[in-house]
Amino acid sequence: MAATKASKEQKYDRQLRLWGDHGQESLENAHVCLINATATGTEILKNLVLPGIGAFTIVDGHTVSGEDVGNNFFLSNNSIGKNRAQAATELLQELNSDVSGNFVEESPDKLLDNDPEFFHRFTIVIGVQLPESTCLRLGSVLWSASVPFLVCKSYGLIGYMRLVVQEHTVIESHPDNALEDLRLYKPFAELKNHIDSYDLDSMDKKDHSHTPWIIIVAKHLEKWLSEHNCQAPKNYKEKEAFRQFIREGILKNENDVPEDEENFEEAIKNVNTALNPTKIPSAVDDLFNSEQCNSITSQTPSFWLMLRAVKEFALNEGNGSLPVRGTIPDMIADSQKFINLQNVYREKAMQDAGAVCKHVESLLQSFGKPPESVSEKDIKLFCKNSSFLRVVRCRSLAEEYNVDSVNKDEITSSMDNPDSEMVFYLMLRAVDRFYQQHSRYPGVYNYQVEDDISKLKLCVTSLLQEYSLNVNIKDDYIHEFCRYGAAEPHTVAAFLGGSAAQEAIKIISHQFVPFNNTFIYNAMSQTSATLQL
C-alpha cells in the first residue's frame, strides 16, 4: 500500500504542485461519464485518465467505422465493426492502471428512454458530438439531478464547449496576480504595536538597511497622516510626493550622498499598491448579498455556511474587513525582522479564523448540527482565500434554447462584427437544424456540398427568424460549413480534448475557475471566445 502511494506521488508529482494532495484526492474519487468515443471524446478522456480520475464510463451505441479509426488514437483498425465504447475503453484503460474503465454499449437516447437515473451516479457527464435533441433531453435530466454537464463538439476547424452547471463554488481560485493583504491603511492593533517597536531614526546602518519595506511605508504614512489632516496620498501627485518623502528617509554618508538602501527602494516601488484601502472585493460583497448566504438552512452546503460566518465576522470583529490573509511577500530584511513581521500577520490570521470558527459553530448550533460538521482546516482555508472566492452559475440549455429566454443581446452585439466567433455558434445551431430535418449533416459526400449550401442557408434563415435575431451571416460561412462535411480533424479534437479535460478537472476539484458558459475555438485563425448564452 505504502509503495503504491509513494509511486503515485512520484508519478503525479508535476500536477500535485498545481492542485495539491486534496485536489488529487477529489480526482481519484470522481467518476466521469463520456458519451460518444469519437476522437474528441477519447482525447478528452485521455487527459482525465492520465492525471488519475477514479473511474470513467463510456456510453456509445455506435460501431467502429474505418473513418473513426483514421482520426482516433484510441481505436485500432482491428476494432472496425466492434462497439465503439468497448474498443475505446480498452485502449484508454491501458494508459493508467490506477483508473477503472467501464463501457455501456447503448445510445444515450435509449438510456434516457429506459433509465435516465443511470446518469445520476456521475461526478460530471461529458457529451460529445450529440445531436440537439439528445443534448437537450440529457441537459434537462442532469440539471434536475444537479450533475454538471459539459457539451463538446469538433466540427471542421471549429471547436465548441458548453458548460451546464447550476451553481459551482470555488474556494481556491488561485488568481494569477493577487494583491497582497497588508492592512497598511488602517493597521490592526498588533501590527500597529509592531510598527511602533521600530524607531528608524535611532537604528544603526545595518538595521536601517534591513528593515522590511512594510515598516518603512507604515512609518512614513504615520508621519504623512499627521501632517496632512489624516488624508492618505490618493492621486498620482500625492503618491509621487509620498515616494519622495520616503526617499528622503534614506541614510546619507558623511558626504551627504544617499547610501544604497534596497529596502527603501522596495518601499518606494510598492507605494502604488500598498496604500490601497482594505476593501471587501465587490465579487465577495455580491456573494454576501446573495440569497444562499442570507437564507441558511440545515441543508445549506458548507461553502455558504462559511461565507455567512465570514460575513458575520466582517460585520463584527472584522470592522468591515475580511479575515487577514496572513501572508506577506518576500522582501529585503534580515531574518529576524522578516520572521517577526510575518508572524504578526500569521497570528492575526489565526485569530480572525478562530473568530470565524465561532460564527460557524453558532450557525451549526442553530440547526442542531455538531460543530465538527465543518472542519477547522476547511475554515482556515476558506479564510485564507476569502478575497478570491468565486461562484459560477451557468444558465440551463433550456434557457439558452428557449425563444423567450435566448440571450439576444449577447448574440446581436457580438455579430456587430460579422466575423466574430459568435458566427460559428450560430452555424453550429444551423447545422443541428439541418440534421434534424435531413437526418444527416450537410456536405458529408463530395456530391452533396454544392446543393447543401442552399439547404443549409434555409436552416440559417429559419433559425434567425425563430429567435428574431436581426443579424447577417455571410454566405462564406455557410459554404465553409458545408465544406466541412461534419469532419472531425484530429488536431481540432486534440485542442478541445485538452481544453475540456481541464474544465472537467476544475469542476471535479473545485479549484481554479471554470468558463461561463460557451467556448468557441477557431483553428483557422487560432482565436477563441467565451460567450455567455
Spatial neighbors of 472 by CB under 8 A, at least 6 apart, are 415, 418
Least CB distance to other proteins at residue 332 (A): 8
Least CB distance to other proteins at residue 17 (A): 4
H/E segment holding residue 400: helix 397-401
Least CB distance to other proteins at residue 334 (A): 5
Residue 206 or 237: the one with the smaller Cβ distance to other proteins is: 206
Residue 111 or 163: the one with the smaller Cβ distance to other proteins is: 163
Residue 387 or 499: the one with the smaller Cβ distance to other proteins is: 499
- Collapsing DSSP to helix, strand or coil, 320 comes out as coil
Spatial neighbors of 487 by CB under 8 A, at least 6 apart, are 155, 156
Question: Are residues 477 and 520 in contact, defined by beta-carbon separation less than 8 angstroms?
Answer: no
Cα→Cα distances 296→150, 291, 330, 392, 490, Å: 29, 9, 40, 19, 48
Residue 242 or 484: the one with the smaller Cβ distance to other proteins is: 484
Least CB distance to other proteins at residue 85 (A): 18
Residue 134 or 327: the one with the smaller Cβ distance to other proteins is: 327
Least CB distance to other proteins at residue 86 (A): 18
| Helix axes of 213-227 and 262-274: crossing angle, nearest 10 degrees | 60
Least CB distance to other proteins at residue 198 (A): 17
| Other CB atoms within 10 Å distance of the CB of residue 455 | 16
Least CB distance to other proteins at residue 125 (A): 19
- Collapsing DSSP to helix, strand or coil, 508 comes out as helix
Least CB distance to other proteins at residue 168 (A): 12
Backbone dihedral angles phi then psi of residue 472, each to the nearest 5 degrees? -115, 130
d(CA 395, CA 516): 9
Residue 43 or 400: the one with the smaller Cβ distance to other proteins is: 43
Residue 219 or 337: the one with the smaller Cβ distance to other proteins is: 337
Least CB distance to other proteins at residue 485 (A): 5
Cα→Cα distances 270→242, 263, 273, Å: 11, 11, 6
Q: Which three cell numbers stand for residue 55?
A: 473511474
Q: Which three cell numbers stand for residue 489?
A: 480533424
DSSP state of 119: G
The torsion defined by the Cα of 243, 248, 250 and 251, in degrees rounded to 10, comes to: 180
Residue 232 or 381: the one with the smaller Cβ distance to other proteins is: 381
Residue 14 or 237: the one with the smaller Cβ distance to other proteins is: 14
Q: Work out the end-to-end distance of the chain between its first and last CA atoms, rounded to an integer number of angstroms.
A: 48
Spatial neighbors of 138 by CB under 8 A, at least 6 apart, are 35, 108, 112, 119, 125, 127, 130, 149
Least CB distance to other proteins at residue 145 (A): 25
Least CB distance to other proteins at residue 432 (A): 17
Residue 134 or 300: the one with the smaller Cβ distance to other proteins is: 134
In residues, how long is the chain? 533
Residue 187 or 443: the one with the smaller Cβ distance to other proteins is: 443
Least CB distance to other proteins at residue 4 (A): 12
- Burial class (CB within 10 angstroms; exposed 0-12, middle 13-18, buried 19+) of 213: buried
Indicate the residue type of 199: D
Does the CA dihedral 483-489-492-496 come out positive or negative? positive
- Burial class (CB within 10 angstroms; exposed 0-12, middle 13-18, buried 19+) of 68: buried
Residue 71 or 396: the one with the smaller Cβ distance to other proteins is: 71
Question: Are residues 78 and 68 in contact, defined by beta-carbon separation less than 8 angstroms?
Answer: no
